């Protein structure tokens, strides 16, 4: 076992600095010094759901960039010193139909999650990237293209690929009229990517004060969702609606925005929703969802972002302020993604209490 320093959840948003264990490198592993890790809504859900008395510590964090510091003996595609990015999936069976289709995120045997999962080879719990080091199977560490700012690129690995997959699956490009519902971590990247793909892009937001931001991100139009006349006027105007709202909400007003054969992709909310089927029937509309990304699309996203200069709008904080970032994320007080700088974990004495994980 090797050790590193990181941040362990101690009930809701309190995080404590601790010594963490990482596995010794297997033949196909690389060790990554984590430089930057984004703060995702999933982290917030995880810390709220975690029992602080659990014997399995929770270390959040699943969208990070860093530098390879060591490679296993069979590693061929990465070398010490390479800049890499890792997302919320660190392994999969690689044999099922989903994996063979490049959709390891939908692996039939369930992908291994970066934290809160179980390593598929040794059965140990995985712990996340609010830490200085991560050990990962080579095939799930992506080369970070030159020219991408490593801090602002970190959110591409969860928020980014979560919106990129449906954008690509739905063929969004020149001529597509797309509405992005919700301008948060996912939404702002969806806008930037849709614009970069050449689509006519509209932001639908509760607040008119996001109008300037919407324009700055490249959107051509903004609709304020509480403006009934504007919502009525926009009915039937969109080929694709990407819904990134992170809480339960009525889908009917957003399905109404779709044109004939249009599709609403629900990305921000994972719970149960109820839909009036006539809202789909009239116009032969489609309702779909997605989450995270397979390896093919993830690598493609990084290349596309490097070519087009797309990264997240971030607020960079030292990792010691991770708890504050979670609190502010819960209040929606971020434009548009927190990223933690892990270098402060190098300073100070080693934590006294070792934590398994
Ligand atoms: Zn995430
Ligand atoms: Zn699989």
pLDDT at 95: 98
Q: How far is the CA of 43 from the centre of ligand 1 (A)?
A: 7
Which one of the ligands is nearest to 106 CA? 2
Structure tokens at 291: 């989450």
Confidence of residue 113 (pLDDT cuts 50, 70, 90): very high
Q: 219 pLDDT exceeds 80?
A: yes
Q: How far is the CA of 21 from the centre of ligand 2 (A)?
A: 27
Q: How far is the CA of 92 from the centre of ligand 2 (A)?
A: 5
Structure tokens at 241: 């609606």
Q: 346 vs 45, 83, 202, 351, 352, CA distance in Å?
A: 28, 19, 44, 11, 15
**Domain annotation for the chain: domains and CATH numbers:** 2-158+293-355 (3.90.180.10), 159-289 (3.40.50.720)
Q: 210 pLDDT exceeds 70?
A: yes
pLDDT at 177: 98
Once rounded to an integer, what is the mean pLDDT over residues 29-46? 96
Distance CA 242, CA 182 (A): 9
User: Among residues 249, 286, 290, which one has the least CA distance to residue 266?
Assistant: 290
Q: How far is the CA of 134 from the centre of ligand 2 (A)?
A: 22
- For 121-134, write each residue's pLDDT tens digit: 999 999 999 999 99
Residues β-bridged to residue 241: 179, 264
Once rounded to an integer, what is the mean pLDDT over residues 251-261? 98
Distance CA 57, CA 59 (A): 6
Within 8 A by CB and 6+ apart from 277, the residues are: none
The b-or-e profile of 284-305 (16+ CB within 10 A means b, else e) is ebebeebbbbbbebbbbbbebb
pLDDT at 12: 76
- For 133-171, write each residue's pLDDT tens digit: 999 999 999 999 999 999 999 999 999 999 999 999 999
Q: 356 pLDDT exceeds 60?
A: no
Distance CA 267, CA 163 (A): 7
3-state secondary structure string, the chain?
CEEEEEEEECCCCCEEEEEEEECCCCCCEEEEEEEEEECCHHHHHHHHHCCCCCCCCCCCCCCEEEEEEEECCCCCCCCCCCEEEECCEEECCCCCHHHHCCCHHHCCCCCEECCCCECCCCCCECCCCCECEEEEEHHHCEECCCCCCHHHHHHHHCHHHHHHHHHHHCCCCCCCEEEEECCCHHHHHHHHHHHHCCCEEEEEECCHHHHHHHHHCCCCEEEECCCHHHHHHCCCCEEEEEECCCCCCCCHHHHCCEEEEEEEEECCCCCCCCCCHHHHHCCCCEEEECCCCCHHHHHHHHHHHHHHCCCCCEEEEEHHHHHHHHHHHHCCCCCCEEEEEHHHHHCCCCCCCEECC
Once rounded to an integer, what is the mean pLDDT over residues 60-68? 98
Which one of the ligands is nearest to 98 CA? 2
Q: How far is the CA of 202 from the centre of ligand 2 (A)?
A: 36
Distance CA 104, CA 111 (A): 7
Q: How far is the CA of 100 from the centre of ligand 2 (A)?
A: 7
- For 187-209, write each residue's pLDDT tens digit: 999 999 999 999 999 999 998 88
Q: How far is the CA of 121 from the centre of ligand 2 (A)?
A: 14
Surrounding residues of ion ligand 2, Cβ less than 5 A? 92-93, 96, 99, 107
Q: 348 pLDDT exceeds 90?
A: no
């Amino acid at each position: 076992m090797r050790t590193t320093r990181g941040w362990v959840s101690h009930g809701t948003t309190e995080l404590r600095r601790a010594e963490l264990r990482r596995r010794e490198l297997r033949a196909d592993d690389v060790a990554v010094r984590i430089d930057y890790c984004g703060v995702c809504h999933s982290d917030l859900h995880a810390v709220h759901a975690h029992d602080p008395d659990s014997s399995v510590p929770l270390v959040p964090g699943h969208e990070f960039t860093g530098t390879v510091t060591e490679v296993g003996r069979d590693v061929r595609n990465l070398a010490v010193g390479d800049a890499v990015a890792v997302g919320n999936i660190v392994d999969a069976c690689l044999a099922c139909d989903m994996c063979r289709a490049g959709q390891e995120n939908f692996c039939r045997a369930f992908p291994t999650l970066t934290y809160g999962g179980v390593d598929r080879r040794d059965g140990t719990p995985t712990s996340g990237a609010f830490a200085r080091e991560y050990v990962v199977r080579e095939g799930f560490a992506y080369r970070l293209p030159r020219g991408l700012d490593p801090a602002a690129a970190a959110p591409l690995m969860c928020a980014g690929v979560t919106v990129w997959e449906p954008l690509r699956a739905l063929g969004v490009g020149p001529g597509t009229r797309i509405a992005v519902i919700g301008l948060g971590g996912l939404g702002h990247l969806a806008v930037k990517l849709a614009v970069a793909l050449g689509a006519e892009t509209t932001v639908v937001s509760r607040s008119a004060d996001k109008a300037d931001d919407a324009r700055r991100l490249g959107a051509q139009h903004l609709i304020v969702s509480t403006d009934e006349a504007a919502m009525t006027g926009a009915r039937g105007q969109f080929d694709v609606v990407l819904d990134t709202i992170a809480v339960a909400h009525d889908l009917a007003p957003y399905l109404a925005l779709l044109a004939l054969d249009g599709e609403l992709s629900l990305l921000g909310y994972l719970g149960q929703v109820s839909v009036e089927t006539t809202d789909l029937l009239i116009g032969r509309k489609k309702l779909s969802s997605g989450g995270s990304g397979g390896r093919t699309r993830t690598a493609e996203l990084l290349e596309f972002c490097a070519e087009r200069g797309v990264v997240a709008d971030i607020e960079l904080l030292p990792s010691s302020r991770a708890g504050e970032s979670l609190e502010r994320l819960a209040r929606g007080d971020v434009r548009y993604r927190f990223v933690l700088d892990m270098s402060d974990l190098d300073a100070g004495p080693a934590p006294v209490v070792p934590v398994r994980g």
